[in-house]
Amino acid sequence: MVNLLVQSNVARYHEFKINVRILSMVEDGIHVLPCRRSDVFTSPLLDDLIDKRKLMKLIELCVKYEPGEDNPATNEITQDAQKPFIEFLEEKAINRTLREYIVNSIAMVKPSDPTIDACKSIKNFMIATERYGRSPFIFPLYGCGEFPQSFCRLSAVFGGVYCLNTQIDNVKTGDSFVVKLAEKDHEVSSEKLVMDYGSASALHMTYTPRTKDKLSRAIFITKQSIVPNNDNLLSFLRIPPSERNSDTVFLLELNSTVSVCPNELNIVYIWTRASTKNAKQDLGPISEHLFKHFSQGDIVWKFFYQALCESKPNMIGELATGLHITSPPCNDIDYEKSISEAESIFKKMYPDQDFLPRAPDPEEIIS
């Protein structure tokens, strides 16, 4: 996403904060993760010099990995490419605590995932920490809802037209698509049509059953951070499965520095794939653990709910010529899948055009 924002010049419509800290849950305690290589040796999380050296050696191995190149790092990782990552770490005599720290907070993978995938994730993590701040993440002012607005704004500048607060009533197919807007005597025709999978299925434009996985979500408004936070940092935490949660849980804690809540308050988002029909049942135990040190009244408001997470299965049969179906983000922590899918669809429609080339600045446009 960062590369796309810079490449397309859409970043000019945003303001970002780089004050995102990564938290790690190890042995039921929550710790601040040292992200940069220079932070490893000063972090109180790792108090054993041997562990610090083992971690640095692993990081260097992953950073030097280059697919297709003949170098020691690439050869070593390629040799164990499909081995479960946890076995790869065990063979390097990395202790359990450090293994949890690496798997859950740096690689952010499952212990059984292939070593090559985990090493690629570690490399991406470390490269990202060297780009802007001390964290691999940046966060947009006013929240992630600003992303679609900024790309829509770019489109509007160059002639894109939007019908707001309007649903599609039906779509007629033929030599072109004729889209009838609900409750309006208005039709739009086009040779190409891009739709999200949920809408396409509801309008019977696909012939595969919709898969309706659910996410269990919770929102908390709090008066303090889950970890002492004197610098008003944002927080991200990935919690592996345990007796409190049957699936991986993600946590994002925001504050007034990104203009999403008043001063002195935090907004905490927690989510996981649903394993029951009740969000509080899925997230209640881990929430109680996260907020166990809070005093009465520190949680101002909370709400548990479930949301559909529709995924797009492999289509059966042919889609109408010119029809392209997209999948919404679901349980991802970034936009890589969405961007890759968008570029793939764009290349099918316009194979000779560049995907989101740099937009000129206003002073570069000659009227």
Question: pLDDT for 74-89, tens place per residue?
Answer: 999 999 999 999 999 9
Q: Give the pLDDT mean for 125-138.
A: 84
Choice among 10-24, 99-113, 241-255, 307-321 with the minimum mean pLDDT: 307-321
Q: At CB < 8 A and 24+ separation, what contacts does 241-250 make?
A: 242/286, 244/285, 244/286, 244/289, 245/272, 245/282, 245/283, 245/285, 245/286, 246/275, 246/282, 247/272, 247/273, 247/275, 248/110, 248/272, 248/273, 249/283, 249/286, 250/331, 250/333
Residue 14 has pLDDT above 60, yes or no: yes
Residue 314 has pLDDT above 70, yes or no: no
pLDDT classification of 235: cutoffs 50, 70, 90? very high
pLDDT classification of 42: cutoffs 50, 70, 90? low
For the domain bounded by 211-311, which CATH number is listed?
3.30.519.10
Output the pLDDT for position 319. Answer: 77
CATH 3.30.519.10 domain locations along the chain = 211-311
- pTM value? 0.85
Output the pLDDT for position 308. Answer: 79
Output the pLDDT for position 349. Answer: 94
CATH superfamily placement of domain 19-129: Guanine Nucleotide Dissociation Inhibitor, domain 1 (1.10.405.10)
Output the pLDDT for position 180. Answer: 86
Give per-residue pLDDT as tens, 252-277: 999 999 999 999 999 999 999 999 99
CB 113 within 8 A of CB 85: yes
Q: Give the pLDDT mean for 3-17.
A: 87
Output the pLDDT for position 130. Answer: 79
Give per-residue pLDDT as tens, 276-287: 999 999 999 999
154 membership: H or E segment, kind and range: helix 146-157
Output the pLDDT for position 312. Answer: 58
Output the pLDDT for position 208. Answer: 58
Q: Give the pLDDT mean for 208-225.
A: 85
What is the pLDDT of the chain when averaged over all its residues?
A: 87
Task: Report percent pLDDT > 90 for the chain.
Answer: 48
Output the pLDDT for position 213. Answer: 80
Question: Which of 155-169, 193-207, 237-251: highest mean pLDDT?
Answer: 237-251
Output the pLDDT for position 279. Answer: 96
**In 3D, which of 199, 208, 193, 196 has the Cα closest to residue 325?**
196
Output the pLDDT for position 63. Answer: 93
HSE-CB for 349 with a 13 A CA cutoff: 17
CATH 1.10.405.10 domain locations along the chain = 19-129
CB 257 within 8 A of CB 250: no
Name which residue leads in pLDDT, 226 or 175. Answer: 226
CATH superfamily placement of domain 163-209+317-354: FAD/NAD(P)-binding domain (3.50.50.60)
